[in-house]
Amino acid sequence: MSANAPLEPREDRPRLADREAVLALLCRYIAEAWRSFDEPRPEEPPVDVALAARLREPLPEEGVTPEEALDDAARVLDASVSPSRPLYLGYIGSTGLEVGVLGAALSAAYDVNLAVTAGGADLVERQALEWVASFVGFPHSFGAFTSGGMTSNLTALLAARERALPGARLRGLDGRRGAVYCSDEAHHSIMRAVEACGLGSDHLRRLPLDDLRRMRPGDLDAAIAADRRAGVTPVAVVANGGTTLTGAVDPLDQIADVCDRRGVWLHVDGAYGLPAAATASAGPLFAGLERADSATLDAHKWLGVQKACSVVLLRDGTALQDAFGHEERYLLHREGEPNAVDRTLEYSRPFRSARLWLAFRVHGAAAFRGYLDHTLALARRLVALLQDDPAFELLHRPQLSTVCFRHVPRAGLGLLDLNAHNRELALAVQADGRVYLAAAVVDEQVCLRVCFVNFRTRDDEIEHVVEVVRELGARLAGASYHPGEQQRT
């Protein structure tokens, strides 16, 4: 054999015999999935018995054809709960934008790692950060794409900890105490981040809510002052840019006043709600965002791309280097320049930004503003229907696209545990399959929670959601009624 002759591929390595045919099959499955998202399904199909049996088999020594494996994978996914379906309203999922699939598939093929230097991918990530910051009106675009809101919030709080308690990353707290402040409705990831920072969840100050379920700036100011008197260092204030439970947006401008006066880092957790800052109808709620030190946004929520694609933005580009920068013998710095990993918690970091970059390139910012306005309008439509219906009770005044309500059957019923009734109703709705809702608890009242982030949900489907809940709620209430019980007043 000539020294320059091409090597024959090894037969013992994992490879596809006919890549083009398998790719065509995959494209067919993806196209079928997209078509299934165009209209609500009458119910969610179960996993069939034969497939379920195969999913219990032990590790195979010999493989099957890629066609067989892909067929099973597609059937499993079709029988799974997907947030891309138009009436998936229970949790904050994505819309599964088609261009996000394309970006994910293409970037997965190249498997770029944004840990050191990735060439062109570095330029896309830089531009995507600038575009996100511009879209929401945050005047700084230092930051990174991360694995989710938990990681983004933790990244920001680690930077804030190093600023407030210098050297904590090296020596630990060293006898010092630090506190973080948030509203009582802040996401649980803030507590986890405070624990991971070594501050201890006992030093998370969860402050009471006002009548719009927002943090009270006066309470915040008093809490910071009290901690300083007690020798506790205020590390950061976490303001909500749309809570997961009810969509509440804290008064950012007034909170920024407190942070400026007290010299405390202001972080805005906008994992769900921050994209609404780009809209005319909800934008005023975010006045003061530009004064924050950091902000979090999950593009895999209200911006519709696939998980995971979160963003953390910071005012000061050196803050991440201070919190994460290091020298390592196998990750040398070029001419003293930091590597990408010097500003993130993660090492192996995939090309997540490609999905959002491609979505902005294909659709443009104006289309996204339209999508967001559409879902905000859906929430207002649902609120109007519920307010006019005596069978339902709203539990808060919605600010964004999240609506919490409960079914309150009245006519001809005996005593009914409304918490138990609405918990069972949420399960009944999920089992029914026409609509996907979930239970939540607002002020110790179990309710149904709807969050409109899916661009596929149509105006004319909101009445259908109400009718399904009414039908199943009445059926449950009737089953719970026993003649002779005391009537509700």
Which contacts (CB < 8 Å, 24+ apart) does range 483-486 have?
A: 483/414, 484/414, 485/414, 485/415, 486/414, 486/415
Share of the chain above pLDDT 70, in %: 91
Residue 433: inside a domain: no
Residue 404: inside a domain: no
Q: How many helices (H) and strands (E) does the chain have?
A: 14, 11
Residue 394: inside a domain: no
Residue 469: inside a domain: no
Q: For residue 154, what pLDDT is reported? A: 95
Q: Are residues 276 and 345 in the same domain?
A: yes
- Tell me the C-alpha distance between 94 and 90, whole Å: 12
Q: Which of 83, 112, 139 is the last residue of a domain?
A: 83
CB 199 within 8 A of CB 216: no
> By three-state DSSP, how is residue 218 classified?
helix
Kind plus residue range of the DSSP H or E element containing 238 = strand 233-240
> By three-state DSSP, how is residue 265 classified?
strand
Amino acid letter at 434? R
Residue 245: inside a domain: yes
- Tell me the C-alpha distance between 4 and 394, whole Å: 75
Q: For residue 278, what pLDDT is reported? A: 98
- Tell me the C-alpha distance between 432 and 417, whole Å: 22
Burial class (CB in 10 A: 0-12, 13-18, 19+), 250: buried
Q: Are residues 270 and 220 in the same domain?
A: yes
Q: Are residues 146 and 52 in the same domain?
A: no
Query: In the predicted model, what is the mean pLDDT of the chain?
Result: 89
Q: Are residues 128 and 219 in the same domain?
A: yes
DSSP string, 284-311: GGGTTGGG-SEEEEETTTTT-PPSS-EE
Per-residue pLDDT tens digits for 175-234: 999 999 999 999 999 999 999 999 999 999 999 999 999 999 999 999 999 999 999 999
Q: For residue 410, what pLDDT is reported? A: 75
* More reliable by pLDDT, 137 or 320: 137
- Tell me the C-alpha distance between 280 and 372, whole Å: 10
User: What's the structural domain count of the chain?
Assistant: 2
The runs of H, that is alpha helices, within 197-275 are 217-229, 252-262
- Tell me the C-alpha distance between 370 and 84, whole Å: 18
Q: Are residues 244 and 340 in the same domain?
A: yes
Q: Three-state secondary structure along 92-106?
A: CCCCCCHHHHHHHHH
Instruction: Write the CA distances from 153 to 23, 190, 244, 312, 371, integer angstroms.
Output: 38, 7, 14, 7, 26
Q: Are residues 125 and 228 in the same domain?
A: yes
- Tell me the C-alpha distance between 25 and 227, whole Å: 62
Q: Are residues 123 and 45 in the same domain?
A: no
Residue 337: inside a domain: yes
Per-residue pLDDT tens digits for 157-169: 999 999 999 999 8
Per-residue pLDDT tens digits for 237-264: 999 999 999 999 999 999 999 999 999 9
User: Does position 485 have pLDDT exceeding 70, yes or no?
Assistant: no
At 6, is the pLDDT very low, low, confident or very high (cuts 50, 70, 90)? low
Residue 56: inside a domain: yes
Cα end-to-end span (Å), the chain: 94
Q: Are residues 71 and 174 in the same domain?
A: no
Q: Which of 335, 362, 389 is the last residue of a domain?
A: 362
Per-residue pLDDT tens digits for 284-339: 999 999 999 999 999 999 999 999 899 999 999 888 888 777 776 566 667 667 77
The values of phi and psi at residue 239, to 5°, are -95, 145
Q: What angle do CA 152, 92, 123 make, to 5 degrees?
A: 40
Q: Which domain holds residue 230?
A: 101-362
For the record, the structure tokens of 470 come out as 């009414």
Q: Are residues 54 and 141 in the same domain?
A: no
The CATH number of whichever domain residue 206 belongs to comes to 3.40.640.10
Q: Are residues 112 and 71 in the same domain?
A: no
- What is the average pLDDT across 342-366? 89
Q: Are residues 113 and 39 in the same domain?
A: no
* 84: alpha, beta or left? (left if phi > 0; alpha if psi -120 to 50): alpha
CB 378 within 8 A of CB 426: no
Residue 409: inside a domain: no
> By three-state DSSP, how is residue 16 classified?
coil
Q: Are residues 131 and 67 in the same domain?
A: no
Q: Which of 341, 362, 383 is the last residue of a domain?
A: 362
Q: For residue 9, what pLDDT is reported? A: 57
